[in-house]
Each structure stands twice: as C-alpha cells, then as structure tokens.
C-alpha cells in the first residue's frame, strides 16, 4: 500500500484499515501492484462525508486498467455485507464504513 503525500491518516478507524488491506489483497492477486490511497481524513468532500470521521477512503483506480470492473465487483461482493459502501467514482474507488441493518463487521450488527 502506498499513501499519497499529504494524506491525513490520523485517527482512521480500524474498519477502514481492514478495507484498505482487503483491497490491497485483491489488487495483488490480480497482479496490479500496490494500492494507492489518495484520501482518508483530508480533502474536500460533501457535507455528509465520512472522511473527516476516519470512516472513508479513496483509492486510485486509474492504474487498474481493464481489471477495474473485476476488482470493484469483488470489493462490493465481499465488503458490502460487512457494512461498507463501495462507490466507483471517475478517478477513484470510494469505500466507507456505514453499516445498515443486518450488516455485520467484527461480530457486531448495525
């Protein structure tokens, strides 16, 4: 994993580190190299963003090329039942921890 210079990684919640690690594993298994984190608690985001709370991450997608749809599909399949939302933006994958009823992470339900 690589973190872009200037990214604020302070007080990021453990669920987001888990999601980053999982994304890294998916990318490594697909021969894509390192995941590049472009935003954690920093940057300009919408008023309801979970970034300032340490509950969201943006991951660069441009280096994933033709494998991006497969990587994104795997993230959604495996992370969303655990309480994460995965969104494919123009230049990055946004992952946030925002559990809904019935979604379980770390033995706890929302």
Q: Do 92 and 61 form a contact (C-beta atoms < 8 A)? A: yes
pLDDT-based confidence at residue 33 (cuts at 50, 70, 90): confident
CATH number of the domain residue 35 falls in: 3.30.1380.10
pLDDT-based confidence at residue 42 (cuts at 50, 70, 90): confident
Domain count for the chain, please give it. 1
Q: What is the pLDDT of residues 55-98, one digit of tens each?
A: 999 999 998 999 999 999 999 999 999 999 999 999 999 999 99
Q: Which domain holds residue 32?
A: 2-109
Residue whose token pair is 């090329």 = 65
Tokens matching residue 17: 């580190």
């Amino acid at each position: 994993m690589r973190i872009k210079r200037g990214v604020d990684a302070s007080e990021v919640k453990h669920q987001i580190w888990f999601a980053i690690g999982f994304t890294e594993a998916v990318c490594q298994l697909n021969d894509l190299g390192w995941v590049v984190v472009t935003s954690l608690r920093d940057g300009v985001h919408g008023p309801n963003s979970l970034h300032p709370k340490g509950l969201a991450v943006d991951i660069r997608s441009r280096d994933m090329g033709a494998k991006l749809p497969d990587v994104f599909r795997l993230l959604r399949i495996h992370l969303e039942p655990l309480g994460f939302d995965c969104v494919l933006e123009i230049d990055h994958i946004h992952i946030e921890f925002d559990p809904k009823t019935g979604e379980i992470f770390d033995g706890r339900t929302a």
